Every structure is written in C-alpha cells, then in structure tokens.
Structure 1
C-alpha cells in the first residue's frame, strides 16, 4: 500500500542520489499544475520562486517543487527541472498564440550538506533532469536518497557527533475521501524524540555510545 506523498492523484516523485559524494535532489512533479502555498522559515533559508506561491500573486499553479542538497549551489537543480518540463510542453503558455513560449513554474528549496563528504560536488542542471526522469507515482523511496542523501540531524555537538538524517513521506486518506500527505527532508540542528515517551532517538553522539539530549545541551549553552 502506498502511504507516501505520491498517493495524491497527479503527483510524482523522483530522486537523484549521489552516495559517493553524499548529496542529491528530489523533485515533485505536477504535470497538470497544482495550486501552491508557501511559508518560508529559518535563519538562513535558500529558495527559488517561492514568492510567487503567495496568495496575493498572479501565478496560481506550480508544475514542480524541488528539494536539493548543495546549499545555495543546489538551487541550480531547479533549472534542470525547468528545462525538462519545457521539453515536455509542460508550463504556462505565454506570448503570441501562434508561437507561445512554455514557461514551467518550479519552486525550490535547499539544505546544507556541504562538507559531509565534499563541498566540491553539488546537484545542478543534469541532476535535476535526472530526478525528473526517475519520477513516478510509485511509493516514494525514503531515507538517504535524493535531497536526504547528505542530510544530518543533532548537530549541536559538531558535525563529527551528528546523526544521519534523510527524506521521508507519509499520507493519510480521510473518511471524507481527501488525501493529506507530506514529504520532509530532515536536516535539523536539533535531535529527534519519541513523542510517546520522550526518549531521545537521535542526539549528539557520545564517545562511549548513546546520545546526548539536544535540548539539555542548548540550555547549558552548547556542547
């Protein structure tokens, strides 16, 4: 049973994964267009074409959303997605009716994974296109793939004590028939807890094994 974001009708997901260099990108394709919205948070967000998703702007649909590693360099992956969609005739038709120009709308956001293995290799145009070619409505692959390839969590003790993050997805179909789904690339500075009992599942790693509590470290003023 598909319990990932591709449960949503008309939505496809695809990854480009570079395990050797610990980076990658993920694309969510909406070939028929989809209504978007946005809420950008964080101290250092890196985005592309997210402003046009705000309700006061004219553009009403998006044709793809890209999540990428590579920090600011990774935004180039969206250009590969734009080129792919244009080649497929997907996008808004603008200009003269007899010879319109196809303009795909592709919003993107990045995460910082530079230096986990190397800072020299980042997702770009070809990697974005590769993610499109891999996209399908099959259950989305999760873990250290795509944008989650170089993601880490629990970084309050420094990169050497961090724990591997990744990308994941979940979906639920309500009794009324609507499907609610999400996909998240987790690259948090904080840790992970079991919400049912408060146990630390991932925190800065201790030399002797186990995890420190990220919140406790933060309250103490650092690692």
Structure 2
C-alpha cells in the first residue's frame, strides 16, 4: 500500500474498507460544491445521479462522488454520504432543505471475498469521516492507495476466470501545467490486462508459469474460436471467459481549473483515453467504465490541454493501482506474482 498528498484545495478524499469481505468504497468530497461532468463508456454501468451532470439540466454543482464496490448493492453507501453532508449543512438549497448532491458509480467485486457483504450507508459515513483534505484541518495528510476503498476488491485479468486473476486496487496520478493541477483516482477492476507504456503486461491473466501472464488477445481469440465451433458450455464458462460480466473501471478526476459542466464532461471523455492506453480490452459490453471530473478552482487553461493531461494522469493512476496493490481473498498482486516467478512480462 502506498500514499499520496492531495494538491487541489477544496477536495477531500476518504476510504472505507472491509478486508475480510474484500470490498469497500471511496468518497471524493467537495463540501463547497464543484462543477462536475461525467463520461460513461462501458456497456453495463451502475451509476447514481449521472443525469444531473447533463449540461441541459439544472444543478450546476455536486458535493460528493462515490466510487464503490458491491455492484448495484454498493450504491447504498451513497445514503451515508448524503447523511454526513446534510449533518454539516452541505447541499443544494431548495428553500425547505439543503439536499446534498452525491453522484457515483459501482464496480463488481462480488466474485472475491464475501458476496453477501457490500458497502452500505455506515461504510459511506466511515469513508467521509476518514477524508484527507488538501486544505484546512489535516492539510498535508496522506491518502492511502492500493487495495483500499473502492479498490479493496478490485482485480484484473479475469478473461480466463477468477482463478487466474491478479489483485488490483485504486491508484493515483497527477499532471500539472503552470498553476493548473489535475489529479486522477482510478479503481481498476478490468476483465483484461494492464499494460505499461512499452506494451508489457504489468498485471493480468496469470499464466502457466509463476510470474508470467497470458495475453488477453490470445484468450479472446481462443474464446472466439470455441464459440464458433459450439465447443463452449457451462463447465467451460469459468475457465474461458468466466469473468466477462465481472469487471468495471471507475474513477474521479479533479482540477483547480475553471470548467463548465460541458467542459468537465469533455475532459472526462478525453480522460478515457488513459484507460484505453493502459487496459486491454476496455469499454466492453460487460463493463461499466465511468469517469467523473470535478472543477474546484478558478485557474484558466485550454480544455484540449487539460483533457490531454487528464488522460495522462488517468493512465498513470491505472499503472499505480496495480503496482501498489496487495493480495487479498486468495488473489496475489502483480508484485507477489512477480516475486514467485522472478518477472512480470508475458
């Protein structure tokens, strides 16, 4: 497990984890409100309140983003986040009450640990209580990363079944230009592999020899050939493509740049390029890949520049997520698998 220090004032981040059940959630808080955008690329998303972020819709600012395990069950954690914010007088003023605006997305981690235990309202509150801030009380504190929060149950390399997966987690990336900062927090729960800049496999489908990985494309080709020949059946489902429906990479980026809702959504769209450069395959019909972007400042920058930096920060966060993960639920991390075999490249 590693840690980082936040650099964007007004953004707080906290985790809650259940390492026995191997699940958890992460909350990105913006108590003063932040303009937000979202881009959903996966074909099977699990989300909360994303329609609010459409530039045509009324609400301009959100107060929190929830990233959570537990599949659709994990959205219960948002109730705790709402209650925590309400107790502090944070929310959209309707005239009769302040309603906290909490958006979120889920990843599927029910295949590791206990499928009967999922993030709930109490865990959402715990994540808020643990929040690290870049400003105010607690400034300079460090945020834990790796197999914590939404990354607690995250795994990669499930195309050939959970038995050959590698443990992943939640990672962090940062890019700057002048006085503009963009930071990315990504929970990597991919069906395929994570690749480094040179194309080497950093984490993925564990191969026949310790420390080695089988390429996702090779597994997909084999799966395709079996389907064409009608050789697949229920018994082959776990060994060949058993993890197709059990993935999703979700994340939140934030910046001190001033953005409109439309611009924030454009930056989120461009940030997905960082996922495409580092995860293969990505954005499949079974993924719920979703990225949020929060604007919490007044710095000026061209949106094209910021989007390119966001993609780079996202790519770095994906690499970081598998590099700092630790094994849980009987699934080894990339560093543990490498230690067994002496290398990590396929």
TM-score, structure 2 length as denominator? 0.60
Aligned counterparts, 1:95-134, within 5 A: 95=95, 100-134=96-130
Contact kept in structure 2, 1:14 and 1:135, CA below 8 Å:
yes
Is 1:185 aligned with 2:191?
no
Shift of 1:34: 0.1
Q: Which runs of 5+ in 2 are unaligned?
A: 134-140, 225-239, 241-346
Is 1:170 aligned with 2:166?
no
User: d(CA) in 2 for partners of 1:37 and 1:45?
Assistant: 16
Choose between structure 1 and 2: higher helix proportion.
2
Write out the 4+ residue segments of structure 1 that deviate beyond 4 Å after TM superposition. Answer: none
Shift of 1:62: 0.3
Shift of 1:5: 7.8
User: d(CA) in 1 for partners of 2:160 and 2:6?
Assistant: 36
Shift of 1:54: 1.3
Shift of 1:184: 0.5
Q: What is the RMSD computed on CA atoms of the aligned residues?
A: 1.5
From the superposition, tell whether residues 170 and 139 of structure 1 become closer, same or farther in structure 2 (CA, over 3 Å). farther
How many residue pairs match? The answer is 215
Is 1:205 aligned with 2:201?
no
User: d(CA) in 2 for partners of 1:211 and 1:32?
Assistant: 45
Which residue of structure 1 aligns with residue 77 of structure 2?
A: 77
- Structure 1 residue matching 2:214: 3-state secondary structure: coil
Out of 153, 157, 173, the residue aligned to residue 154 of structure 1 is 157
Shift of 1:85: 0.2
Farther off after superposition, 25-34 or 186-195: 186-195
Q: Which runs of 5+ in 1 are unaligned?
A: none
- Structure 2 residue matching 1:6: 3-state secondary structure: coil
- Structure 2 residue matching 1:7: 3-state secondary structure: coil
TM-score, structure 1 length as denominator? 0.92
Shift of 1:104: 0.2
